[in-house]
Amino acid sequence: MHKPRKEMIAETRAKLIAAARQAFGAIGYAEASMDDFTASAGLTRGALYHHFGDKKGLLQAVIAEIDAEMAARVNEVASRAPTRWQHFVDECTTYIEMALEPEIQRIMFRDGPAVLGDPAQWPNASACTASMTDHLSKLQEEGIVVPDLDPETAARLINGASSQASQRIANSKDPEATSKKVVAAFKQLLEGLKSK
């Protein structure tokens, strides 16, 4: 019995994303050969073109998958925070600390920006900004964050700072030491938002 077409399409896409993710994470986007990773998935280059248009389209799909996983991890860690403020801080710092992981370093903070441009323009960026804006608005309503702060503007600035912080870690000769400095500085920056 044949599989339904939708199931076959989903399976092919998943195989290509998994093979590309492994290749991009191990050797980088530029060095990853489309022929090698399509063959490792038991597929042809034609399947890649059909489903993703090109190698860049496949990188976008890999980034979307990793980004969703990162968001789930951030939410899981932050959900254990005892206060809304700590939840907010944990979301930000957990995201930054993921830049220590080799696959995330290479794909999300090196190759992704080099190939796809500014992460602030990626499809997920508006949802991230909206979520952070919502958190800041609630913190403001509770009197935790200064009242004269525009939550959306602050969210965009914090997103930019966290992106730069993550890229600094990912491109450092000593990511572990850099991460400690970056997270400490970032936490101090966030403290400046609080009402006195």
Asked if 37 and 2 count as a contact pair (C-beta separation under 8 A), the reply is no
What would the pLDDT profile of 130-170 be if each residue is shown by its tens digit? 999 999 999 999 999 999 999 999 999 999 999 999 999 99
Domain 64-191 has CATH 1.10.357.10: yes
Q: How far is 53 from 16, CA to CA, in rounded Å?
A: 12
Asked if the model's pLDDT at residue 24 lies above 80, the reply is yes
Asked if 16 and 43 count as a contact pair (C-beta separation under 8 A), the reply is yes
* Percent above pLDDT 70 for the chain: 99
Q: How far is 126 from 148, CA to CA, in rounded Å?
A: 23
Q: Ranked by mean pLDDT, which of 44-48, 50-54, 112-116 comes out on top?
A: 112-116
Q: According to the model, what pLDDT value does residue 1 have?
A: 59
* Percent above pLDDT 90 for the chain: 77
Strand residue runs (E) in the chain: none
All structural domains of the chain with their residue ranges: 1-53, 64-191
Domain 1-53 has CATH 2.40.128.50: no
Q: According to the model, what pLDDT value does residue 37 have?
A: 82
What would the pLDDT profile of 106-122 be if each residue is shown by its tens digit? 999 999 999 999 888 88
HEC readout, 131-178 = HHHHHHHHHHHCCCECCCCCHHHHHHHHHHHHHHHHHHHHCCCCHHHH
CB atoms within 10 A of CB 151: 18
